[in-house]
Structure 1
Amino acid sequence: MASKQIEKIIAKYLIDQASFEELDDLELWATKPENEQEFINYVKVNYTIDYNLKKTDTFKTKRLITNLIQEEKRRLKQRRILNYTKYAAVLVGILVSVYLFNQNKLNNSIENTPIIVNTIQTGTDKATLTLEDGSQVALEKGDLYETQNVKSNGEELVYEAGSSKEIVYNYLTIPRGGQFFVKLSDGTKVWLNSESQLKYPVAFIDGVDREVELVYGEAYFDVSPSKKHKGAKFKVFNQSQEIEVLGTQFNLKAYKDESNIYTTLVEGKVAVNFENRIQKLLPYEQSNVNLKTNDLVITEVDVYNEISWKDGVFSFERKPLKEIMKVLSRWYDMDVVFENKSLEEVKFFGVLDKQQNIEEILKTIKKFKIIESYEIKNKVIILK
């Protein structure tokens, strides 16, 4: 099947983000005879959403994409633009069938002017720290905070290395439209996504299991190994699930408004314990706990899609628009209404730079006819 790299290059090409080198690679791949069937399958399997693909001449389509690549290369040369940016630049409704077979409709259609009253802001570093006495401290980008055992520059929270004879807890709460990084006293690093809360000790007790709780939300853990802490294991609790760690990196997603808990192992070892059922995960495996049915399922996943958020990118692969908008609503602190309910299940893949303006994303989706139009009313987006 078409490689991940080719998929990414096609995505970049459709949104004018591909470099000369990437266009060369795409052209070389698309014109090789041995890739003809691969190309046909790639279009049919990945990007068809009932656009009469079966009636299309695939050979002509292949020639068309080659011509379009050549045109794009000439345009780049004329403008002297070499784009080397990271591929995860824009959320796209990357539907090749839509683009290739409906280009005339895109060019000739009358644009629907969206209604825009926009107060939606891009997310940023911010959190609320709740201390052991119940007092709260607002942490925001650019603000400094420091006490005897913890300091923050507004983008991260770092606890002093050391141990304690008793456990005292702090909470770090990330609102919608926020993100934050915390380094625990044992050296464990935790990235927290929007709308999340972590409960953890200010300092751990030497030789005793290190325990934290993801109360809700999503977090990426880079755990300090047990051998550095007299063999003390690291455990993460969430609702009825317990994760036992032996020095590893993993992602845990457990939002309040979702009935599934996802644990994705990047490297190392973890054991997921759900209602006394213990399941060990291998790297690139994900456990999915369904809280409604009490089922626990293990699958292999593309790890990058699960953890890219911590590096400033949202990566979506064949995700329904409804699911994508739920992710975006947390980061942009907004609500989304589907006026056209059939749009909720439209699947595509694409990537989003988390610093993008929400209007740029909506314009891209509209450009590829995934939606007909949209409205922004203060902090509510209506998709039509």
Structure 2
Amino acid sequence: MNQVPDIQKLLLKFVKNDCTSQEIATIIKYVKQTKGTDNLPNFNEVMQLFEEIPDIEPKRAQTMYQNILKTAKHEKRRSSTRRIWRYAAAAVVVGIMASTYFFRDRVLNNDIIAPSATIVRHNIHPGTDKATLTLETGETISLEKNTSIQTQNATSNGEQIIYNNSTSRELVYNHLTIPRGGQFQLSLADGTRVWLNSETQLKYPVSFTDGESRQVELMYGEAYFEVSHSSKHKGAKFKVIHNQQEIEVLGTEFNVKAYKHESNIYTTLVEGKVALNYQNKTQNLIPGQQSNINVLTNTLTVSTVNVKTEVSWKDGIFSFKEKSLKEIMASLSRWYDVNVVFENKSLEKVQFNGVLRKHQNIEDIMSVIMSSSLDNYEIIDKTIFLK
């Protein structure tokens, strides 16, 4: 079978999540046409290959695996296919559970047909490490990758800014602003580490007062905090202030998402404990819980979430679990610094599950997300039109 070596290469690329949408289509077409279901490994055998993959959903994976078996049912046996089928089944499971994509109830039931894309011209690139530092004097400094900066209180290599480990009686504040298409890391004077997502601004003191509450203000956007424990600072608690809520911690890891023009504020606790104050009420969170404040209805709800999915952005990954296209495109618009227009409004509610790398080019991202639900999309300059 002359095509076996090429298919093997594609399947190995698939496992590593390096395939283009066209290569994905070739793989699925081959899987559906290959004969010899008796040569397929059983589901348990496939699962054993990927024991260390996090967030495996065996029940759903097994359902999709059975779909692969059904597509080849009643075909004539060919003994030479065992190795290829093993890779194919493994690739499908990896794709479903780890780092590929599928729209609910629509993957592997039909042939993959890439959407019709009209790409007139564009200058769209993945985001990079960049920020603007505003000093207490009002002076601004651009921070960019591969550019070293040093101030009286901090140093930066263009990927993060690190403040001197110092205390002071007088609080002097800096602002760090992350633009659309950017991200940055920050180490505060107390050793607290902060990851800042696109379109975010944080206000913080360049040093803290020894023994007194350590306080920063998330003006808007999304930030992940890894807080230096209060036991290292004479019991001083750490607070994150936002105009709608206040979070108080002793030492913990949590994520706050509070973008401008969005009606929900999400706080997700990864480790430790936090006390969230909202409208003179206190809500305690435990690891794995997420609070959701709806600023339109003035309500607060708490639910259990997959924290890895919620905070994967800081590790260079888009992880979407039952997210609507409206939510997904909002994330992409910030990271790629693009505008998004839903010409077909019904697409806003379509849900997607999957994991994508943040440094993929925009065409690959769009092909992956849209391949099962969109007849056409168009990219003109820095605007994506969904049709």
TM-score higher than 0.5: yes
Whether contact under 8 Å (2:173, 2:203) holds in the other structure is yes
Whether contact under 8 Å (2:67, 2:108) holds in the other structure is no
Matched, 1:74 2:87: no
Out of 99, 105, 110, the position equivalent to 2:107 is 99
Over 3 Å counting, the alpha-carbon distance change for 1:376 and 1:165 in structure 2 is same
Which aligned pairs between 1:249-288 and structure 2 lie closer than 5 A? Answer: 249-288=253-292
Measured in 2, the distance between the counterparts of 1:377 and 1:242 equals: 41
Whether contact under 8 Å (2:104, 2:351) holds in the other structure is no
The one-letter amino acid of 1:272's match is: L
Whether contact under 8 Å (2:103, 2:351) holds in the other structure is no
Secondary structure at the counterpart of residue 108 of structure 2: helix
Out of 168, 173, 183, the position equivalent to 1:169 is 173
Whether contact under 8 Å (2:41, 2:86) holds in the other structure is no
Whether contact under 8 Å (1:319, 1:348) holds in the other structure is yes
Measured in 2, the distance between the counterparts of 1:333 and 1:117 equals: 15
Listed one character per residue, the Cα deviations across residues 247-278 of structure 1 (whole Å, up to 9, x for unaligned) are 00000000011111111000001000001110
Listed one character per residue, the Cα deviations across residues 34-70 of structure 1 (whole Å, up to 9, x for unaligned) are xxx9569967xxxxxxxxxxxxxx97765227999x9
Over 3 Å counting, the alpha-carbon distance change for 1:60 and 1:319 in structure 2 is closer
Secondary structure at the counterpart of residue 231 of structure 1: coil
Whether contact under 8 Å (1:365, 1:371) holds in the other structure is no
Matched, 1:121 2:121: no
The one-letter amino acid of 1:285's match is: Q
The one-letter amino acid of 1:307's match is: V
Out of 233, 236, 248, the position equivalent to 2:237 is 233
Using the TM superposition, give the Cα deviation of residue 364 of structure 1 relative to its aligned residue in structure 2, in angstroms. Answer: 1.9
In the other structure, the counterpart of 1:379 is 382
Listed one character per residue, the Cα deviations across residues 91-131 of structure 1 (whole Å, up to 9, x for unaligned) are x3x0364233322xx46x9x735233111111000000000
User: Structure 1 segments of 4 or more deviating over 6 A?
Assistant: 11-15, 58-61, 65-68, 75-78
Measured in 2, the distance between the counterparts of 1:61 and 1:14 equals: 21
Whether contact under 8 Å (1:209, 1:232) holds in the other structure is yes
Whether contact under 8 Å (1:125, 1:180) holds in the other structure is yes
Measured in 1, the distance between the counterparts of 2:159 and 2:74 equals: 46
Whether contact under 8 Å (1:211, 1:234) holds in the other structure is yes
Secondary structure at the counterpart of residue 98 of structure 1: coil
Out of 295, 300, 303, the position equivalent to 1:296 is 300
Using the TM superposition, give the Cα deviation of residue 26 of structure 1 relative to its aligned residue in structure 2, in angstroms. Answer: 4.8
- More deviation in 219-228 or 358-367? 358-367
What TM-score, normalized to structure 2? Answer: 0.79
Query: What is the count of residue pairs matched by the alignment?
Result: 340
Whether contact under 8 Å (2:43, 2:62) holds in the other structure is no
In the other structure, the counterpart of 1:54 is none
Matched, 1:345 2:353: no
Measured in 1, the distance between the counterparts of 2:277 and 2:202 equals: 19
Listed one character per residue, the Cα deviations across residues 293-352 of structure 1 (whole Å, up to 9, x for unaligned) are 111111100001110000000100011111100011000000111111111111120111
Matched, 1:326 2:354: no
What TM-score, normalized to structure 1? Answer: 0.79
The one-letter amino acid of 2:311's match is: I
Listed one character per residue, the Cα deviations across residues 345-375 of structure 1 (whole Å, up to 9, x for unaligned) are 111201110101011011223433x111111
Over 3 Å counting, the alpha-carbon distance change for 1:101 and 1:152 in structure 2 is same
- 5+ residue gaps in structure 1? 1-8, 31-36, 44-57
In the other structure, the counterpart of 2:71 is 64
Measured in 2, the distance between the counterparts of 1:24 and 1:248 equals: 44
Out of 180, 186, 190, the position equivalent to 1:186 is 190
Secondary structure at the counterpart of residue 359 of structure 1: helix
Measured in 1, the distance between the counterparts of 2:129 and 2:20 equals: 31
Measured in 2, the distance between the counterparts of 1:145 and 1:135 equals: 14
Measured in 2, the distance between the counterparts of 1:309 and 1:364 equals: 18
Measured in 2, the distance between the counterparts of 1:171 and 1:323 equals: 27
| Fraction of identical pairs, as percent | 51
Measured in 2, the distance between the counterparts of 1:243 and 1:24 equals: 51
Listed one character per residue, the Cα deviations across residues 208-230 of structure 1 (whole Å, up to 9, x for unaligned) are 10000000000000000001001
- 5+ residue gaps in structure 2? 1-14, 28-39, 48-57
Whether contact under 8 Å (2:67, 2:109) holds in the other structure is no
Secondary structure at the counterpart of residue 343 of structure 1: helix
Over 3 Å counting, the alpha-carbon distance change for 1:28 and 1:377 in structure 2 is same
Whether contact under 8 Å (1:88, 1:353) holds in the other structure is no
Whether contact under 8 Å (1:27, 1:66) holds in the other structure is no
Measured in 2, the distance between the counterparts of 1:71 and 1:252 equals: 50
Which aligned pairs between 1:16-55 and structure 2 lie closer than 5 A? Answer: 26=43, 28=45, 38=59
Whether contact under 8 Å (1:254, 1:262) holds in the other structure is yes
In the other structure, the counterpart of 2:313 is 309
In the other structure, the counterpart of 2:30 is none
Listed one character per residue, the Cα deviations across residues 169-226 of structure 1 (whole Å, up to 9, x for unaligned) are 0000000000000000000000000000000000000011000000000000000000
Matched, 1:243 2:247: yes
The one-letter amino acid of 1:144's match is: S
Matched, 1:207 2:218: no
The one-letter amino acid of 1:246's match is: L
In the other structure, the counterpart of 2:363 is 359
Secondary structure at the counterpart of residue 313 of structure 2: helix
Measured in 2, the distance between the counterparts of 1:292 and 1:189 equals: 32
Listed one character per residue, the Cα deviations across residues 14-45 of structure 1 (whole Å, up to 9, x for unaligned) are 97599xxxx96857479xxxxxx9569967xx
